[in-house]
Amino acid sequence: MNDPQFAARFSLLPHETHGADMLSFPVHFIDEQLAAPGRAPTVGEHTDEVLRDVLGCDEARAAAIRESGALGNAAK
């Protein structure tokens, strides 16, 4: 992190914001600002949305999938 070239190419994205310390994307575009990445989801955080919006499951089907154990510990 103390190397001048490394510091010019990367910035450290803190774990307080992103859930883990990360390095920024090393490619810089002229007159462009990249959006800061969001934090990664926790296990099962989007289970309901994926079952409903991506797979098209109604509540009964989603409940059956959860109860079957197919989602392991990710079923929230």
Q: Closest Cα partner for 46 from 17, 21, 71, 67? A: 71
Q: What is the reported pTM?
A: 0.52
Per-residue pLDDT of 9-35, as tens digits, reads 888 888 888 788 888 888 888 898 888
Contact 1, 12 (CB under 8 A): yes
Phi then psi for 49, rounded to 5 degrees? -65, -40
CA 47/CA 75 separation, integer angstroms:
7
Phi then psi for 35, rounded to 5 degrees? -70, 145
Token pair recorded at residue 5: 């070239």
Per-residue pLDDT of 32-68, as tens digits, reads 888 877 777 888 899 999 999 999 999 999 999 999 9
Token pair recorded at residue 44: 């099962």
Residue bearing the bigger pLDDT, 69 or 38: 69
